[in-house]
Amino acid sequence: MGTPENSESVTTSLQLEPILGIESVTKFYEELKALLDANQPIALDGSAVENIDTASLQLLTVFCLELQARDIPFNWHEPSETLRHSAAITGLVDTLMLPEAA
């Protein structure tokens, strides 16, 4: 059978919410699960993140690890300073594969 010759990978983008807290972790989980189920390359836009709590950071970490385990390509678009700082103080910059600050 094989794959169609004209099949192209489509990158799916996810704009992270400005406030990622425990009260929204269920909705955040559902969004991330849908992206995993789509099995397409993903662009994570973290530019709007103003506040992220530990629960959301843990969920994002598991998501990134699962993307890596499934060999699903992903990249970050302008992660905010808040997101970078939260990842840095928890030792998750490398796990999240956050790019260097510009």
Question: Residue 81, exposed/middle/buried by CB under 10 A (0-12, 13-18, 19+)?
Answer: exposed
Report whether pLDDT(50) > 60.
Answer: yes
For the record, the structure tokens of 29 come out as 């989980």
At 11, is the secondary structure helix, strand, or coil? coil
If one looks up domain 12-96 in CATH, what number appears?
A: 3.30.750.24
Which pLDDT tens digit goes with each residue over 16-43?
A: 999 999 999 999 999 999 999 999 999 9
Report whether pLDDT(6) > 90.
Answer: no
Only one residue has tokens 């997101």, namely 83
The predicted model gives 72-96 an average pLDDT of 96
Which pLDDT tens digit goes with each residue over 14-23?
A: 999 999 999 9
Q: pTM for the full model?
A: 0.85
Q: For the chain, give every domain's residue range.
A: 12-96
Give the whole-angstrom CA distance, residue 1 versus residue 43: 30
